[in-house]
Amino acid sequence: MASNRDSAISLPSLNTKLKIDFSQPLEGTVDTGVIKGKTAIVQDGATGLGLGIATALAEQGANVAICGSDPKAGEAAETDLNGRGLCVSYFKTDSGDWNSLLSTFKQVVAWSRDQLDIVVTTAGIVTHNMLMSALPRNHRPGADPPKPPTNVLEINFLGVYYTTSLAIWYFNQLESKRLDPSFNPQLLFICSMAGYEGLEFGTDYAASKHGVRAIWKTTRWPRQSMAQYQSNLLAPTYVSKKKIAGESEQKLREHNAQTNDIADVVAGALRCICDKKVQGRAVGCVQGSTGTPGRLNFDLCDDLTGGSGGKELLDKAEDIWLPSSATLKEDSDCAVQ
């Protein structure tokens, strides 16, 4: 008779009582001190949203490995944060390449002396789009159709797929060496509202983010034979970054797309990582909040009883920006997260 040791644990996602109020301020809600001394890997942690999360983790006392393909940005972030007395190290990484990611994980584990507690998958770009190659203006009589580029899929989806596999592998391998057994390893996915709705003329990006959501939904509940990690997902709307400026930000505004503040997403990240009650939840990180960061964040209820996030989005459709309300033109280079 087959053992049920390796069968999936019963899924609390069916329990409607699990809905979390993410609008509460962090102070007085969770103890962010639980991540002091923990080791974290943040994909693409040298700029934008990744840097915001990496900085917040380091400020709470975590040892943070920031990964990315731009040495100039990575080394600058490392120098700046270490200059503030934080513990941060940059590791050059190609987020879409297995060998590069594997090498980074090995280096981080050696750097941390066999500790790995937090992995955040913030890899995300939007450059090319499959529909661009199919535009009538690009048709030439008698020519074969051009092969569409796949770099967005390679980084946004395949890179997260690889990172998830490596994170779970090392959580299992290092379980017996964990310095704080009371703290479950954390796997935090950064998706996007485009992973819940479409993004007209954003095929590559939306497809990759729907894929990230699928990776999370199929790995968020560890099996009994595995290290018992926590896994959650953040779905921000457009996130304001330094590289969203001038013409690019104007394009967003032309499409009635407000930009989110990084602080709202960071608040959601810290809540997921530091709160033991938050497991298997997807958090909508909403644009335009004022006052306490994250005060408009909400539980998407991305499970069977919550209609896989659809009910919450429908309830808030009049109050928040959704990807389907914008049309990205073929020349759009807006940096969505």
What stretches of the chain adopt beta strand conformation (E)? 39-42, 63-68, 87-92, 118-121, 186-190, 230-236, 282-285, 298-299
Q: Choose, from 90, 196, 205, 229, the residue flagged as catalytic.
A: 205
Do residues 88 and 58 lie in contact, with contact meaning Cβ atoms separated by under 8 Å? yes
Do residues 248 and 29 lie in contact, with contact meaning Cβ atoms separated by under 8 Å? no
Do residues 160 and 19 lie in contact, with contact meaning Cβ atoms separated by under 8 Å? no
What are the C-alpha distances in Å from 53 to residues 10, 30, 42, 179? 31, 17, 8, 23
SS3 136: helix
| Two structure tokens written together for 313 | 């989005």
| Two structure tokens written together for 336 | 């969505």
The residues, any chain, with a CB within 8 Å of residue 172's CB and separated by 6 or more, are 226, 227
| Sign of the dihedral defined by the CA atoms of residues 292, 274, 12, 210, in that order | positive
| Two structure tokens written together for 148 | 């569409």
Identify the bridge partners of residue 298 per DSSP, sorted by sequence position: 284
Q: Choose, from 38, 170, 209, 251, the residue flagged as catalytic.
A: 209
The amino acid present at 187, given as its one-letter code, is L
Catalytic status, residue 196 = no
* Residues composing the chain: 337
HEC string for 145-209:
CCCCCCHHHHHHHHHHHHHHHHHHHHHHHCHHHCCCCCCCCEEEEECCHHHCCCCECCHHHHHHH
Catalytic status, residue 316 = no
SS3 133: helix
- The residues assigned a catalytic role are 205, 209
